[in-house]
Amino acid sequence: MPWFDLPIDALRSYCPEREEEPDFDAFWAGTLAEARAHPLDASFRPVDACLRTVETFDVTFSGYGGQPIKGWLLLPRGR
C-alpha cells in the first residue's frame, strides 16, 4: 500500500484490496445492536480549567457493555 507520493486525485480514488471474514457484517451488526441496547446516560459537568476563552466539561457516557467512557469537551466560550 502506498503511504505517500500519490497525486491528490489518485489518493481520492484509491481503494485498497481487502479481505473480510464471512461473518464480518453479522459480527458488526450484533456488536452495534449490543451497544445500542444500553442507554447513553451522558453527563456534562462544567470544570474550571482556568481558561478564559474555553468552556471545559467533564463528559461521561456509556460505551460498549455499559462501561463508562470519560473525556473532556472543550468549547469556545460564548459560542
pLDDT at residue number 3 = 62
Q: When comparing pLDDT for 45 and 35, which is higher?
A: 45
User: Worst-scoring range by mean pLDDT, 5-14, 19-28, 69-78?
Assistant: 5-14
pLDDT greater than 80 at residue 25: yes
Q: How confident is the model at residue 38 (pLDDT cuts 50, 70, 90)?
A: confident
Q: Which residues contact 6 (CB under 8 A, 6 or more apart)?
A: 14
Straight-line distance from the first to the last Cα atom of the chain, in angstroms, rounded to the nearest whole number: 42
- The C-alpha cell of 7 is what? 497525486
DSSP 3-state of 48: coil
pLDDT at residue number 10 = 87
pLDDT greater than 60 at residue 1: no
